[in-house]
């Protein structure tokens, strides 16, 4: 498991689509996060599809990260399915961290172990 | 395990900030396989629900599917047929983006006090409550006309609900219970459906910024289907408790041919409101 919290200058901020809530009030587009790990759960539910990754640190402590996607409606209309990402998939996910410090992020890109990207074109849409 | 890469926290560029302020992306294209011309890459387009600048015919700021072209459809009785699946047609980020020429929003002291105190976590829409009127959610919605008795607005998202407009009633109840969509009576003025609504509760916001209203809110919406793909909505907002004078806004909805509404139960897995921070503002 690898986790990278990157606070890089001059990164192009993520400009999300509109959601049922304010993106800017929940996530900080200037705090990108990249996590590699195994998907432990997928929730294909409104108002947002979500997936979770368990990350184990050097001491063995497991932290669960919660990644928010667009709504299943948006994802479905963009051609994705409820099984496009499955429990047990190895993924690298990049996104924007929650402002409140929770282990929560909005997923911008989700890349499977074979390099295939899922939810492309909609992963950063907070709807 | 954690690698903190150094560097300064990026500051939003002026361009990005502008995009944030002015964005009006909408959820989707009907990329359901029914319309092979549409691809995921084309799936975002102006909602028509944010700024009038986004509502030009056939344009989607270069990103969305073209607005369908064709004459205004009519029913056998001659009335304009408003039915179809639409996107946009009301404010999303800021109701002021729809102000008609010469119009201004002047809040009363009470209105201003409420507006300035609002926090994003309290936005009813973020909490899976209805938009009310005139706000629109960034989801498709359908108009259904039932002869000369009712017009229904079916909302896919936020929340999965409906609004009913009575064409068969000539006046409002004397003392309606305050509700999220109020009591709406409609009548035709030529090719325009005029919808008069009172009886609102004071719980919904007009937009992400939190423009307020009271139970005295009275809206007059004028819906005109200018052509096949264009539904114009001019709304007069009257609320003497929160606004020193009425104001008029105009938003334009875009037809989504081949689109069908989907189930959207916002309450099922709402985890956002508890993480929202800061004052109410643009998305």
CATH of the domain at A75: 2.40.50.140
On whether residue A123 sits in a domain, the answer given is no
pLDDT beyond 90 at B162: yes
Query: E strands of A44-120, at which residues?
Result: 50-56, 62-68, 90-98, 104-112, 117-118
Q: Does B21 touch chain A (CB under 8 A)?
A: no
- Establish how many alpha carbons lie within 13 A of residue B104's alpha carbon, considering only the half-sphere containing its beta carbon: 4
Mean pLDDT over A70-98 rounds to 94
Between A68-82, B233-247, B268-282, the lowest mean confidence (pLDDT) is in B268-282
pLDDT at A120: 72
Q: CATH number of the domain at B252, please.
A: 2.40.128.20
On whether residue B36 sits in a domain, the answer given is no
pLDDT beyond 60 at B14: no
On whether residue A75 sits in a domain, the answer given is yes
What predicted TM-score, i.e. pTM, was given to this entire model? 0.80
Measure the CA–CA gap between A43 and A100, rounded to whole angstroms.
22
pLDDT at A4: 54
Largest separation between any pair of C-alpha atoms in chain B: 71
**Kind plus residue range of the DSSP H or E element containing B14:** helix B14-22
Residues of chain A in contact with residue B158, where contact means CB-CB under 8 angstroms, are 20, 47
- Band (pLDDT 50/70/90 cuts) for residue B187 is very high
**Kind plus residue range of the DSSP H or E element containing A75:** helix A72-77
Q: Is the peptide bond before B207 cis (omega within 30 degrees of 0)?
A: no
Q: Does B48 touch chain A (CB under 8 A)?
A: no
CA B69 to chain centre: 22
pLDDT at A124: 44
Mean pLDDT over A91-116 rounds to 94
Q: How many CB pairs under 8 A join A and B?
A: 193
Question: What is the extent of the structural domain holding B180?
Answer: 78-262
CA B165 to chain centre: 17
pLDDT tens figures, B209-250:
999 999 999 999 999 999 999 999 999 999 999 999 999 999
On whether residue A124 sits in a domain, the answer given is no
Measure the CA–CA gap between B250 and B96, rounded to whole angstroms.
10
* B61 vs B158, higher pLDDT: B158
Q: Are B28 and A121 inside 8 Å of each other by CB?
A: no
On whether residue A126 sits in a domain, the answer given is no
Measure the CA–CA gap between B47 and B256, rounded to whole angstroms.
11
Question: What is the extent of the structural domain holding A87?
Answer: 2-118
Measure the CA–CA gap between B133 and B140, rounded to whole angstroms.
16
Mean pLDDT over A29-54 rounds to 94
Q: Are A17 and B128 inside 8 Å of each other by CB?
A: no
Q: Does B43 touch chain A (CB under 8 A)?
A: yes
Q: How many domains, chain B?
A: 1
Q: How many domains, chain A?
A: 1
- Band (pLDDT 50/70/90 cuts) for residue B125 is very high
Residues of chain A in contact with residue B277, where contact means CB-CB under 8 angstroms, are 25-26, 99-100
* 3-state class (DSSP) for residue B18: helix
Q: Does A45 touch chain B (CB under 8 A)?
A: yes
* 3-state class (DSSP) for residue B122: helix
pLDDT beyond 70 at A40: yes
Measure the CA–CA gap between B198 and B191, rounded to whole angstroms.
23
pLDDT at B10: 31
Three-class DSSP labels, B26-70 = CCCCCCCCCCCCCCHHHCCCECCCCCHHHHCCCCCCCCCCCCCCC
- Tokens 């499977």 correspond to A112
pLDDT beyond 90 at B27: no
Measure the CA–CA gap between B247 and B240, rounded to whole angstroms.
11
């Amino acid at each position: 498991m690898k986790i990278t919290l990157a606070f890089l200058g001059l990164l192009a901020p993520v400009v999300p689509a509109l959601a049922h809530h304010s993106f800017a009030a929940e996530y900080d587009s200037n705090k990108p996060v990249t996590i590699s790990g195994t998907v432990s759960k997928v929730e294909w539910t409104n108002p947002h599809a979500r997936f979770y990754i368990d990350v184990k640190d050097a001491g063995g402590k497991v932290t669960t990260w919660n990644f928010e996607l667009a709504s299943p409606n948006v994802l479905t209309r963009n051609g994705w399915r409820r099984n496009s990402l499955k429990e047990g998939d190895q993924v690298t996910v990049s996104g924007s961290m929650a402002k409140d410090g929770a282990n929560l992020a909005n997923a911008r890109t989700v890349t499977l172990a074979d390099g295939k990207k899922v939810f492309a074109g909609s992963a950063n849409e907070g709807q | 395990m954690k690698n903190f890469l150094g560097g300064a926290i990026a500051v939003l560029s002026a361009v990005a900030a502008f995009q944030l302020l002015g964005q009006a992306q909408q959820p989707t294209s009907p990329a359901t396989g029914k319309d092979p011309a549409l691809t995921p890459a084309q799936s975002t387009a102006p909602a028509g629900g944010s700024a009038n600048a986004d509502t030009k015919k056939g344009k989607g700021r270069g990103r969305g599917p073209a607005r369908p072209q064709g004459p205004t459809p009519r029913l056998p009785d001659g009335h304009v047929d408003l039915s179809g699946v639409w996107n946009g047609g009301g404010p999303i980020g800021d109701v002021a983006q729809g102000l008609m020429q010469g119009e201004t929003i002047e809040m009363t002291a009470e209105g201003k006090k409420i507006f300035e105190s609002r926090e994003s976590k309290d936005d009813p829409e973020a909490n899976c409550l209805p938009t009310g009127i005139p706000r629109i959610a960034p989801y498709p919605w359908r108009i259904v006309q039932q002869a000369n008795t009712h017009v229904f607005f079916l909302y896919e998202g936020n929340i999965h609900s409906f609004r009913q407009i009575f064409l068969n009633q000539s006046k409002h109840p004397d003392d309606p219970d305050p509700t999220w969509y109020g009591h709406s009576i409609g009548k035709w003025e030529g090719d325009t459906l005029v919808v008069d609504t009172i009886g609102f509760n004071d719980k919904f916001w007009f937009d992400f910024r939190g423009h307020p209203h009271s139970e005295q809110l009275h809206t007059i919406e004028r819906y005109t289907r200018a052509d096949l793909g264009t539904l114009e909505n001019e709304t007069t907002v009257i609320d003497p408790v929160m606004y020193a004078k009425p104001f008029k806004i105009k938003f334009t909805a875009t037809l989504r041919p081949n689109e069908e509404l989907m189930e959207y139960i916002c309450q099922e897995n709402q985890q956002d409101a508890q993480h929202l921070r800061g004052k109410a503002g643009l998305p």
